A and B are shown apart, each in its own frame.
Chain A
Amino acid sequence: MRRSAIAVAASLIVLAATPALAQHEGHEGHGGAHAGTSTVEQPEADEQQPMDHSAHGAMDHSQHQAMDHSQMDHSQMDHSQMDHSQMDHSQHAQPADRPAHDHSQMDHSQHEAMDHSQHAQPANQPAHDHSQMDHSQHQAMDHSQHGQTAAQPTHDHSQMDHSQMDHSQHAQPSAPQDIPYAPPPPSAGSGPARAAEAIWGVEAMRESREELRKNQGGQSYGAVRFDRFEYRAREGEDGYLWDADAWYGGDIDKLWLKSEGEGSFGEDIEQAEVQALYSRAIGPWFDLQAGIRQDFAGAERTHAVLGVQGLAPYLFEVDGALFLSTEGELTASAEAELDQRITQRLILQPRAEISLSAQDIPEAGIGAGIDTIEAGIRLRYEFVREFAPYVGIEQEWKLGDSADYARAAGEDPSVTNFVVGLRFWF
Chain B
Amino acid sequence: MFRPDLSRRTLLKGAMLSGGVLAVPAWARGQSIGMGDVRRGFDEASGPAIDLHVAEGMHTVGKRRGHAIAVNGSVPGPLLRLKEGTSVRLAVHNGLDVDTSVHWHGLLLPFQLDGVPGVSFPGIPAGETFVAEFPVRQSGTYWWHSHSDLQEQSGHYGPIVVDPAGPDPVAADRDYVLLLSEFTPMHPHDVMRKLKTGEEYFNYKKTSWTDDYPMSGEQRRMWARMRMMPTDILDVTAPAYTYLANGHGPDDGLEYAFRPGERIRLRIINGSAMTFFNIRIPGLKLTVVAADGQNVHPVEVDEFQIGTAETYDIVIEPQTAEAYSIVAESMGRSGMALATLASRPGARAAVPPLRDAPLLTMADMGMNHDLPGMDHGTGSGSAMDHGSMDHSAMGHGPAASDTGGMGAMDHGDMNMRDVSKLPPDVKVSPGLDMVSSNPADRMGDPGVGLDNVEGRVLNYRDLVALARNDDPRTPSRQMEIHLTGNMERYMWSFDGTKFSAVSDEPIRFAYNERVRVKLVNDTMMAHPIHLHGHFFELVNGAPEGFQPQKHTMIVQPGGSATFDLTADEPGDWAFHCHLLYHMHSGMFQIVTVASPEDAA
Contacts and interface: CB of A to CB of B under 8 A. Distances in A.
A216 B1 contact: no
B88 to A, nearest CB: 20
B440 A173 contact: no
B531 interface: no
A21 B467 CA distance: 9
Contacts of A196: 111-112, 119-122, 571-572
B128 interface: no
A211 interface: yes
Contacts of A75: 380-383
Range of interface residues on B (Cβ < 8 Å) = 35 or more
A79 B384 CA distance: 7
Given A33-B297, A199-B112, A171 B368 contact: yes
A117 B586 contact: no
A233 interface: no
B209 A3 contact: no
A10 interface: yes
B438 to A, nearest CB: 6
Contacts of A204: 122
A340 interface: yes
16 contacts: A4-B2, A14-B167, A20-B468, A80-B386, A87-B394, A90-B418, A109-B559, A119-B381, A171-B559, A193-B504, A211-B118, A212-B116, A217-B588, A341-B206, A342-B210, A385-B199
Interface string A73-116: 11111111111111111111100000000000001111111111
Interface residues of A, number: 123
Contacts of B386: 79-80, 82
A85 B461 CA distance: 35
A73 B298 contact: no
A275 B590 CA distance: 41
Of A33, A108, A175, A217, which is in contact with the most chain B CB atoms at under 10 Å from its CB?
A217
Contact of A84 (B394, B500, B590): B394
Given A11-B171, A189-B594, A195-B111, A32 B421 contact: no
A314 B396 CA distance: 20
A215 interface: yes
A383 interface: no
A18 to B, nearest CB: 7
Contacts of A194: 572
A7 B493 contact: no
Top 8 A-B pairs ranked by shortest CB distance? A217-B586, A212-B118, A217-B498, A218-B500, A7-B171, A75-B380, A341-B208, A117-B381
A78 B503 contact: no
Contacts of B221: 314
B581 to A, nearest CB: 11
B49 interface: no
A28 interface: yes
A179 B488 contact: no
A232 B210 CA distance: 30
B297 A21 contact: yes
B389 A187 contact: no
A118 B379 contact: yes
Nearest to A211: B118
Interface in B459-507: 459, 461-462, 464, 466-468, 474-480, 486, 488-489, 491-493, 498-501, 503-506
A184 B509 contact: yes
Interface stretch (A39-47, A282-290, A360-368): A282-290
A34 to B, nearest CB: 7
A29 interface: yes
A343 B560 CA distance: 35
A63 B541 contact: yes
B134 to A, nearest CB: 14
Of A31, A170, A341, which is in contact with the most chain B CB atoms at under 10 Å from its CB?
A31
B500 A216 contact: yes
A410 interface: no
B368 A109 contact: yes
A345 B258 CA distance: 45
Contacts of A314: 221, 224-225, 227
A236 interface: no
A216 B546 contact: no
Interface in B372-405: 372-396
Given A112-B373, A195-B571, A315-B227, A171 B474 contact: no
A59 to B, nearest CB: 15
B206 A344 contact: yes
Contacts of A283: 430
B533 to A, nearest CB: 11
Contacts of A192: 503-506
B193 A221 contact: yes
B123 to A, nearest CB: 5
Given A74-B384, A115-B379, 6 more contacts: A4-B2, A79-B386, A109-B363, A189-B598, A212-B117, A218-B498
Interface stretch (B32-40, B68-76, B276-284, B510-518): B510-518
A58 interface: no
Contacts of B168: 7, 10
Interface of B: 1-2, 99, 111-112, 116-123, 149, 167-173, 192-194, 196-197, 199, 201, 204-210, 221, 224-227, 263, 297-300, 363, 368, 371-396, 417-418, 421, 423, 430-433, 437-442, 444-445, 456, 459, 461-462, 464, 466-468, 474-480, 486, 488-489, 491-493, 498-501, 503-506, 508-511, 513, 516, 518, 539, 541-546, 559-560, 562, 570-572, 576, 583-588, 590, 592, 594, 598-599
Contact of B585 (A73, A113, A217): A217
A185 interface: yes
Nearest to B111: A195
B489 to A, nearest CB: 6
Nearest to B120: A196
A180 B478 CA distance: 6
A213 B389 contact: no
B356 to A, nearest CB: 15
A170 to B, nearest CB: 6
A3 B4 CA distance: 11
Contacts of B599: 187
Contacts of B379: 115, 117-118
B488 A285 contact: yes
A215 B584 contact: yes
Given A87-B395, A90-B418, A31 B461 contact: yes
Contacts of A109: 363, 368, 371, 440-442, 444, 559
Contact of B204 (A118, A221, A344): A344
Contacts of B464: 20, 24, 33
A309 interface: no
Given A4-B263, A200-B121, A208-B117, A216 B381 contact: no
Contact of A80 (B385, B442, B489, B583): B385
A78 B423 contact: no
B488 A311 contact: yes
Interface in A334-348: 340-344
A114 B375 contact: yes
A351 to B, nearest CB: 16
A91 B546 CA distance: 31
A344 B208 contact: yes
Nearest to B592: A193
Contacts of B393: 85-87
A203 to B, nearest CB: 9
